Amino acid sequence: MDYSFTPEEEALRQEVRSFLLQELGPGYNDTGWEHGKDWEFERAYLKKLAARKYLTPGWPTEYGGLGLGIVKQTIFNEEMYYAGSPHFPLTINGTDLLGPVLMIYGTDEQKKEHLPLIARGERVWAQGYSEPNSGSDLASLSTRATIDGDDFVINGTKIWTTGGHIADWMFILVRTDPEAPKHRGISFLIFDMNTPGVSIQPLIDASGEHVINQEFFENVRVPRANLVGELNRGWYVGAALLDFERSGISWAARCMRRIDDLIAYSKEHTIDGRRLIDLPAVRSELTERRIEAECARFISYRVASMQDAGQIPNQEASMAKMFGSELQQRVANTGVHILGLRGQLHHGPSAVLHGNFARWYLNTIPDSIESGSSEIQRNVIATRGLGLPRI
């Protein structure tokens, strides 16, 4: 087994690292969603990324990408996440989810309108899948769209929408045939969030941040031309969307960065005259997290190399998601152990490491729920991976 990267892949890694160092500076701190967020800086930074096609490195060149294969894209994303590149909340739904789906299922008009805007980071997208009573069992969704002349008319609600409040457009799964079996009466639509009848209610999370939202739709008229794929076959479009960027490298890379931050901090700070890094409990916890992060990284590269080879990762992608997201929680926990009481401050002059671990401890809690909960991932691994019977 050969785990090394080719010289070309290493060169790409160095190129991305140099860019990030130049644009973000050494030790750039990703502020999360709100505290100290500088949206203006981020919009300007987005433009620089777009100019180099760095928002869409995996897209084919004809659609404004660099045409990198999946492994190279994973290397690229690993560096971006490690550096805390702040563009992901704004762009990822468009670049990594909707864009590739439009390339397969979109009409020529849809591709022409949306792909260039996504590639330039000028249209921010929200994902409208979950509903108050439909999460893990997504196919039970009940937000309704009826056809009236040239329009669909949407009524219902979506919830837990990441960035719904900053999104320009939404892609949404709606029920268009309530009589059909549940997977077969769903359609995939796209629409402007400023359409009359859309209202957004913020949902504040445990760390006090506004990341997620609930949207209400009251007679929202969406042109029929905004249907992606076939009518009542949207489940398959929506499922294909979830298959993109499944490597889960974001979890591993973020963990690596946080562990490195903790190691650096522990070398510089003392307690009772001893460096933190010299305390056995600290060394032991950091070592364990580092080994786990290395495992998460290898699972992610396994998923990416399967995709590059034209295989469809299944339980492997579930392992990457489950292990990586739960590891983020363990790393956050390790951080608050090591940093002590000051590590529990979110911000202010006494906060350490920018208050990252205090926030992270709280806002990694939902990681094992979003994008398919740990229980659902375990079910996939058990049934499709281990061949255990369904219960």
- By beta-carbon proximity to ligand FAD, the closer residue of 157 and 226 is 157
Q: Retrieve residue 222's tokens.
A: 């969406």
Least CB distance to ligand FAD at residue 194 (A): 19
Least CB distance to ligand FAD at residue 372 (A): 6
Q: What are phi and psi of 83, to 5 degrees?
A: -75, -10
Q: Retrieve residue 75's tokens.
A: 């290397």
- Distance, in Å, from the CA atom of 247 to the CA atom of 305, rounded to the nearest integer, reads 9
- By beta-carbon proximity to ligand FAD, the closer residue of 295 and 376 is 376
Residue with the CB atom nearest ligand FAD in the bound state: 135
- Distance, in Å, from the CA atom of 289 to the CA atom of 318, rounded to the nearest integer, reads 20
Least CB distance to ligand FAD at residue 379 (A): 5
Does the annotation mark 285 as catalytic? no
Tokens 């997620």, residue? 212
- By beta-carbon proximity to ligand FAD, the closer residue of 81 and 129 is 129
- By beta-carbon proximity to ligand FAD, the closer residue of 152 and 160 is 160
Least CB distance to ligand FAD at residue 241 (A): 11
**Going by DSSP bridges, is the β-strand pair 125-128/169-175 parallel, antiparallel, or unpaired?**
parallel
**Binding stretches for ligand FAD (CB under 6 A):** 127-130, 135-136, 160-162, 212, 366, 369-373, 375-376, 379
- Distance, in Å, from the CA atom of 91 to the CA atom of 97, rounded to the nearest integer, reads 10
Rounded to a whole number of angstroms, the CA Rg of the chain reads 22
Q: Retrieve residue 7's tokens.
A: 């010289």
Burial per residue of 173-187, b for 16 or more beta-carbon CB atoms within 10 angstroms, e otherwise: bbbbeeeeebbebbb
- Which amino acid is it at 226? N
Contact 389, 179 (CB under 8 A): no
Distances (CA, A) of 308 to 72, 311, 313: 10, 7, 10
Which position among 78, 79, 245, 326 bears the catalytic label? Answer: 245
Least CB distance to ligand FAD at residue 160 (A): 3
Least CB distance to ligand FAD at residue 206 (A): 10
- By beta-carbon proximity to ligand FAD, the closer residue of 130 and 334 is 130
**Going by DSSP bridges, is the β-strand pair 151-159/210-223 parallel, antiparallel, or unpaired?**
antiparallel
**Residue 358 contacts by C-beta under 8 Å, 6 or more apart in sequence?**
336, 343, 344, 345, 346, 351
- By beta-carbon proximity to ligand FAD, the closer residue of 135 and 335 is 135
Active site residues: 245
